[in-house]
Amino acid sequence: MNKNPIIPFLLIIFLGIGLVFLLSGVGSTDEGEEDVATEEGSEESGGGDEASSGDVDAEGIALDNCASCHGQDFSGGMGPALAGTSLDEETFTTTVRDGKGSMPAFSADQIADEELTALYQFFSEQ
């Protein structure tokens, strides 16, 4: 039997191209649904540019930016405990923005003012 090697090669190429198109179509659908949900959420909340601190994932921001030094449960580590902080909001904000000791400063580009307020509330409630 004389097998033609080009047919399996073409079959693999077409299946690969089809898979790429299928996956790229699924990815764009997910993003579109997320955008629609975001737009609907902003309309329901009054459509203003300002969002309440309830819209901010303070715990996620804290885990990404604070947990490495202040501990996964924010009870202290290399840095002091943040859970149940006794700092007033102004001192907290100044410390985060300007840094203190070995703590680095975080600019508004790194942590927005709204996120900073949500972080303060998150740590105060713990």
Binding site, by residue number, is 66, 69-70, 103
How far is Cα 97 from Cα 108, in angstroms, rounded to an integer? 8
- Residue numbers belonging to the annotated binding site for heme c: 66, 69-70, 103
With H, G, I as helix, E, B as strand and everything else as coil, classify residue 105.
Answer: coil
- AA letter at 122: F
Phi-psi group of 98: left, alpha or beta (phi > 0 → left; psi -120 to 50 → alpha; rest → beta): alpha
Beta carbons of 81 and 124 less than 8 angstroms apart: no
Q: Is residue 9 within a helix (H) or strand (E), and if so which, with residue range?
A: helix 6-44
